[in-house]
């Protein structure tokens, strides 16, 4: 046996040399993907569906795990160093560049204590658990056993989470008190929510009564004796040991090293070299520009007041609130989707093969979660637009057309074309927020070319969404780099962005959790619009909108500087024809 291993070791360099650079790159990318899923096994359920890791749970925020993450990224970069890019084709060079970019970004993120700040927030442990149980496969008894093994790790995970919170507290890196209090409310409500009970409320049809009774009894015991006591233990720790030390400031600028953390977050999230100051000035300019378009459309719809008065005007018209049940909201969105689909070939040469569905967000998180799109999976689950509806009678039709254009087609669901790439799996799974959210905001503007905004009221909705994203540029940078309080940020959104106080509050709390992410929508959209304008100007009558969109989406998500290079190369190629 030892002789065989020695022979393989001696042969390894020769075998490696026999492979082409492209083959070695494919092997590296494939192994990196598998090692990444070993580190983050929940990602397998979200991307592939059922798989060998569906019973695993990693404590991704501990010092030990973060070092394993660093080791993986260093291994990737070392492997890339040994692959000469001169021997690669264009798509393979992009794979090489993206692997290196992602590894370097991960290493830089791991050099900052973001995890100590954002673990116990409304997008933390409760949100993650509810989302996971909603995606976990439950096809047969083996799947239930896998879920039991995974869930049984949660008490230890909560203990590890408490330890990281202690470390952050001692280092002066704490979560704002208002966020901690809200998350405690989520934690307290978890036992009474139906989300965790769904696996035993919706058994697969082929499971017999005896198996159902046995599984339900074991599951109830696991929840009652292990999970819920662990939840109560974490809540008690947070109330007694963490909440009294939680900070009363709002922005990252108040944290030790927070200014540097925010500058890096801005660069990383936007994939540009723009500074917070530059983005703040751009935001103020964009707010004024979009306000003019919004007010012009509003006048045609009968509204002649100020931005601050818009919410009251909207609420004064009962016809804007026609829904009496959550399902009616979904039906309305499905009717809008049916209007979009026949128009898509005008703007796009290809449509995704993956299915698309519009569903309600789990009630357990609907009150604290925005509308979201979940990617399709390899096992046949469609792309899902999850719509939160807390009170249907308070849900307006205003803006729903633009929201669907963003989350469905031609927005995020059209991006699922990336799953059809003939490229390594990591590129099909890659998520780059500036690209993705920039595309989805750009897609909202395409609603005009698709006939979604023929009525002034619908056009108002489209501009209100764009204005909302422009305001994010001002508010996110205001909070984290200019010392704004959340009250000032909320007031700005109400006064300048036509936001209602409740919605503005939820948004500002989100920016406090996730600095820089809110900037990506407008920065990405403006980049795509700039590139389209450049292509239209330089190509004139030869400009083909379908070919332009294929160029933007055709290689999957990329950082904005790479997107710029790709589109400019396409323009030059068209001019040379």
Q: What is the pLDDT of residues 187-213, one digit of tens each?
A: 988 888 788 999 999 999 999 999 999
Torsion of CA 330, 517, 243, 257, to 10 degrees: 180
Instruction: Name which residue leads in pLDDT, 381 or 567.
Output: 567
At 35-73, the pLDDT tens digits run 999 999 999 999 899 999 999 999 999 999 999 999 999
Q: How confident is the model at residue 1 (pLDDT cuts 50, 70, 90)?
A: very low
Strand extents, DSSP E, 410-551: none
Torsion of CA 382, 435, 275, 500, to 10 degrees: -50
At residue 8, the pLDDT reads 46
At residue 493, the pLDDT reads 96
At residue 380, the pLDDT reads 85
Strands 383-387 and 372-374: antiparallel
150 with 57: CB under 8 angstroms? yes
ω into residue 29 within 30 of 0, thus cis?
A: no
What pTM value is reported for the model? Answer: 0.92
At residue 4, the pLDDT reads 53
Comparing 127-136, 268-277, 543-552, the range with the smallest average pLDDT is: 127-136
At residue 132, the pLDDT reads 93
Q: How confident is the model at residue 7 (pLDDT cuts 50, 70, 90)?
A: low
Residue 411 has pLDDT above 90, yes or no: yes
User: What average pLDDT score do residues 348-363 get?
Assistant: 94
Residue 352 has pLDDT above 80, yes or no: yes
The DSSP letter of residue 453 is T
Q: How confident is the model at residue 5 (pLDDT cuts 50, 70, 90)?
A: very low
Strands 383-387 and 356-360: parallel
Provide the sign of the torsion angle of the four alpha carbons 417, 422, 428, 430, taken in this order: negative
For the chain, the average pLDDT equals: 93
Torsional class of 487: left (φ above 0), alpha (ψ -120 to 50), beta (otherwise):
alpha
Comparing 189-203, 277-291, 407-421, 474-488, the range with the smallest average pLDDT is: 189-203
Percent of the chain with pLDDT over 70: 97
Q: How confident is the model at residue 104 (pLDDT cuts 50, 70, 90)?
A: very high
Residue count (the chain): 577
Q: How confident is the model at residue 13 (pLDDT cuts 50, 70, 90)?
A: low
**CA angle, 211 then 215 then 221, to 5°:** 150
Residue 261 has pLDDT above 60, yes or no: yes
C-alpha gyration radius of the chain? 25
At residue 17, the pLDDT reads 58
Locate all alpha helices (DSSP H) within 447-519, ordered by sequence: 456-481, 486-497, 501-513
**How far is Cα 246 from Cα 542, in angstroms, rounded to an integer?**
59
Residue 30 has pLDDT above 90, yes or no: yes
Give me the residue spans of the domains in the chain. Answer: 17-247, 261-523
Tokens of 10: 């001696």
**How far is Cα 388 from Cα 367, in angstroms, rounded to an integer?**
7
Percent of the chain with pLDDT over 90: 86
At 497-533, the pLDDT tens digits run 999 898 899 999 999 999 999 999 999 999 999 999 9
Instruction: Name which residue leads in pLDDT, 3 or 441.
Output: 441
């Amino acid at each position: 046996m030892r002789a065989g291993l020695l022979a393989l070791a001696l042969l390894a360099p020769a075998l490696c040399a026999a492979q082409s650079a492209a083959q070695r790159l494919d092997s590296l990318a494939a192994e990196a993907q598998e090692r990444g899923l070993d580190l983050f096994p929940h990602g397998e359920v979200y991307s592939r569906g059922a798989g060998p890791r569906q019973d695993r749970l990693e404590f991704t925020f501990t010092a030990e795990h973060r070092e394993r993450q660093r080791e993986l990224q260093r291994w990737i970069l070392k492997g890339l160093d040994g692959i000469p890019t001169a021997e690669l084709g264009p798509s393979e060079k992009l794979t090489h560049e993206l692997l290196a970019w992602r590894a370097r970004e991960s290493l830089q993120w791991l050099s900052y204590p973001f995890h100590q700040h954002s673990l116990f927030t409304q997008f933390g442990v409760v949100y993650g658990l509810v989302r996971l149980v909603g995606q976990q496969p439950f096809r047969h008894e083996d799947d239930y056993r896998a879920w039991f093994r995974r869930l049984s790790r949660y008490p230890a995970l909560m203990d590890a989470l408490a330890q990281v919170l202690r470390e952050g507290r001692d280092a002066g890196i704490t979560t704002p008190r208002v966020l901690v209090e809200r998350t405690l409310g989520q934690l307290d409500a978890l036992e009474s929510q139906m989300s965790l009970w769904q696996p035993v409320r919706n058994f697969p049809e082929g499971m017999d009564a005896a198996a159902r009774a046995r599984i339900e009894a074991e599951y109830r015991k696991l929840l009652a004796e292990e999970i819920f006591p662990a939840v109560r233990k974490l809540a008690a720790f947070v109330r007694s040991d963490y909440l009294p030390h939680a900070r009363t400031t709002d922005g990252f600028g108040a944290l030790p090293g927070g200014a540097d953390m925010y500058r890096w977050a801005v660069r990383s999230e936007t994939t540009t070299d723009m500074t917070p100051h530059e983005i703040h000035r751009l935001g103020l300019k964009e707010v004024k520009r979009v306000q003019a378009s919004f007010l012009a459309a509003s006048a045609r719809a009968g509204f002649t007041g100020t931005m601050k008065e818009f919410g009251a005007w909207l609420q004064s018209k009962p016809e804007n609130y026609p829904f009496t049940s959550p399902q009616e909201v979904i039906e309305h969105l499905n009717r809008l989707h049916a209007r979009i689909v026949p128009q898509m070939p005008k703007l796009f040469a290809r449509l995704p093969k993956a299915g698309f569905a519009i569903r309600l967000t789990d009630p357990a998180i609907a009150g604290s979660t925005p509308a979201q799109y979940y990617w399709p999976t390899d096992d046949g689950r469609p792309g899902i637009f999850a719509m939160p509806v807390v009170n249907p009678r308070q849900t307006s039709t205003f803006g729903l057309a633009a929201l669907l254009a963003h989350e469905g087609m031609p927005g995020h669901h059209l991006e699922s074309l990336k799953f059809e790439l003939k490229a390594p799996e990591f590129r099909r799974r890659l998520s780059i927020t500036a690209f993705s959210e920039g595309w989805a905001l750009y897609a909202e503007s395409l609603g005009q070319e698709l006939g979604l905004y023929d009525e002034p009221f619908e056009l108002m909705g489209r501009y209100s969404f764009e204005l909302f994203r422009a305001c994010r540029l001002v508010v996110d940078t205001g909070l984290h780099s200019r010392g704004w309080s959340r009250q000032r940020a909320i007031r700005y959104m109400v006064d300048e962005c036509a936001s209602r106080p409740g919605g503005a509050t939820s948004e500002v709390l989100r920016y406090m959790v996730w600095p820089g992410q809110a900037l990506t929508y407008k920065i990405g959209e403006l980049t795509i619009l700039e590139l389209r304008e450049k292509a239209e100007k330089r190509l004139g009558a030869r400009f083909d909108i379908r070919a332009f969109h294929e160029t933007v989406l055709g290689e999957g998500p990329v950082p904005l500087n790479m997107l710029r290079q790709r589109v400019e190369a396409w323009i030059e190629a068209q001019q040379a024809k």
